[in-house]
C-alpha cells in the first residue's frame, strides 16, 4: 500500500501545483485546508475565499479535502508571542513561529489522525538525504527561497515533510498550473501576516495593544519629535516619523536607530550611512538546530530577513545562545528578529536575536 501524503492546500497556486506534482509522482494524496484566523469582520482575512479556492483545486485534481481550524493554537502559540514582542519594542516574525507551531506542529499531529505518513506544502525549499541524515536546503529559485521561514521547524518533522516545489522556478509553477488548467492558476500570491492577511498594520495592532506616545530623540538625548507608540516603528525605518527640518542640523533624512522601552523613547539618526544603523555583532537566544549541532565555534553565513542576502558570520554558541561576529556589517538588526544560520545552501537552524 502506498503511503498517504497530506498536502496543506491553502487555495493558492503554489500548494495547488505541489498537489499536482505529488499525484504525478504516484503519491496517494489527500488535501488539508487550515483556517487559523477566525475573525473576518473587517474583510481583510480571506479565509472564506481561500476555502472555496482550495475546494475547487481538490475537485479539479479529484482528491479528498479536509478542513480544520487551528485558530486556538494559532492565538496561543503564535499570536500571543507576536503581541508580546511588539509590546516589548521588539520585531517578531509570526510566519516563522507559524511554521513551527502550527504547520509542522498542530497540523502535523492532525496528519496522524488522517493516517498520513507525510505532510507536503507549497514552500520553496528542499530536503535532501546527506551523510548523517536529512538536510534543509535552499530552493533552486533563490528569489522565492523560503528556507529562512522554515529554520525553526522541529528537526523531527524533516523526515515527514515534502516540498515538491523546491526544484522549480516560480515561473515554471505558474506554467504548470496553466497547462493543467488549475482554477487558481492566475490567483495572486498571498501577502501579509501568516493566516491573517494583508491589512493596515498600524490600525490592526492598535486593536490589541494600547499605543503609548513618547519622545523621539537623537543619540545625544535631544528631543526632535514625538512618536505615537514604539510598536509602530522598526529599526532602519525612514519616513512616518514626522520630523521636519531642524535648525542647526544637517538637511538629511531621519532613520530609526534604536528603541529604549525603559523610557519609551525612539532613537533616530540622520543619514543612510550612520554607523548606529549597522551592527558588527549580535547575540541570540538558544539555537534550534536542524542538523547535528556544529562545533562550538564555526564559520558560516547568517540571514535575518526573508530575501536578504546571507552574510559571512563567525559563530560561538552554547546552550544559552550564540554570539555572532559579522565581518560585513548588517543593517537594522532588531531584537525579536530571527537569525538563521547557513553553510552554503544548507540551513543549519537559527534563533531569536536578543
For the annotated catalytic residues, the residue numbers are 98, 194
* Closest alpha carbon to 287 in 254, 324, 258: 324
Which run of H or E residues covers position 343? strand 338-343
In 189-343, alpha helices (H)? 201-206
CA distance 41 to 160: 36
Give phi and psi for 335, each to the nearest 5: -55, 140
Q: Mind giving me the DSSP string for 133-185? A: EEEEEE-SSTTT--HHHHTTS-GGGGGGEE-TTTTS-HHHHHHHHHHTT-TTT
* Closest alpha carbon to 330 in 353, 299, 346: 353
CA distance 303 to 308: 7
CA distances from 28 to 66, 117, 157, 176 (A): 15, 10, 19, 20
Amino acid at each position: 500500500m502506498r503511503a498517504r501524503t497530506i498536502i496543506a492546500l491553502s487555495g493558492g497556486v503554489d500548494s495547488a501545483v505541489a498537489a499536482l506534482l505529488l499525484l504525478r509522482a504516484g503519491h496517494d494524496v489527500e488535501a488539508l485546508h487550515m483556517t487559523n484566523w477566525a475573525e473576518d469582520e473587517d474583510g481583510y482575512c480571506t479565509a472564506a475565499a481561500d476555502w472555496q479556492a482550495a475546494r475547487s483545486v481538490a475537485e479539479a485534481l479529484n482528491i479528498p479535502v479536509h478542513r480544520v481550524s487551528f485558530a486556538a493554537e494559532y492565538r496561543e502559540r503564535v499570536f500571543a508571542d507576536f503581541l508580546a514582542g511588539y509590546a516589548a519594542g521588539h520585531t517578531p516574525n509570526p510566519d516563522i513561529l507559524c511554521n513551527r507551531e502550527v504547520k509542522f506542529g498542530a497540523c502535523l499531529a492532525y496528519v496522524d489522525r488522517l493516517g498520513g505518513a507525510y505532510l507536503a506544502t507549497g514552500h520553496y525549499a528542499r530536503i535532501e538525504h546527506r551523510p548523517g541524515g536529512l538536510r534543509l536546503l535552499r530552493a533552486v529559485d533563490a528569489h522565492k527561497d523560503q528556507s529562512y521561514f522554515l529554520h525553526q521547524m522541529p528537526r523531527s518533522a524533516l523526515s515527514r515533510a515534502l516540498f515538491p516545489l523546491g526544484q522549480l522556478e516560480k515561473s515554471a509553477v505558474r506554467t504548470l498550473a496553466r497547462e493543467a488548467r488549475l482554477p487558481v492558476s492566475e490567483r495572486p500570491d498571498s501577502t501579509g501576516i501568516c493566516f491573517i492577511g494583508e491589512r493596515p498594520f498600524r490600525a490592526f495592532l492598535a486593536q490589541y495593544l494600547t499605543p503609548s506616545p513618547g519622545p523621539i530623540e537623537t543619540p545625544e538625548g535631544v528631543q526632535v519629535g514625538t512618536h505615537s507608540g514604539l510598536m509602530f516603528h522598526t529599526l532602519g525605518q525612514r519616513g512616518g516619523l514626522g520630523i521636519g527640518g531642524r535648525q542647526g542640523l544637517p538637511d538629511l533624512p531621519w532613520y530609526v536607530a534604536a528603541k529604549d522601552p525603559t523610557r519609551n523613547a525612539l532613537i533616530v539618526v540622520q543619514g543612510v550611512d550612520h554607523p548606529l544603523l549597522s551592527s558588527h555583532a549580535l547575540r541570540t537566544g538558544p539555537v534550534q538546530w536542524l542538523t547535528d549541532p556544529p562545533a562550538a565555534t564555526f564559520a558560516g553565513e547568517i540571514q535575518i530577513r526573508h530575501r536578504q542576502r546571507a552574510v559571512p558570520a563567525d559563530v560561538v554558541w552554547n546552550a544559552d545562545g550564540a554570539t555572532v561576529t559579522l565581518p560585513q556589517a548588517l543593517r537594522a538588526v532588531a531584537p525579536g528578529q530571527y537569525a538563521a544560520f547557513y553553510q552554503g545552501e544548507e540551513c543549519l537552524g537559527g534563533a531569536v536575536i536578543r
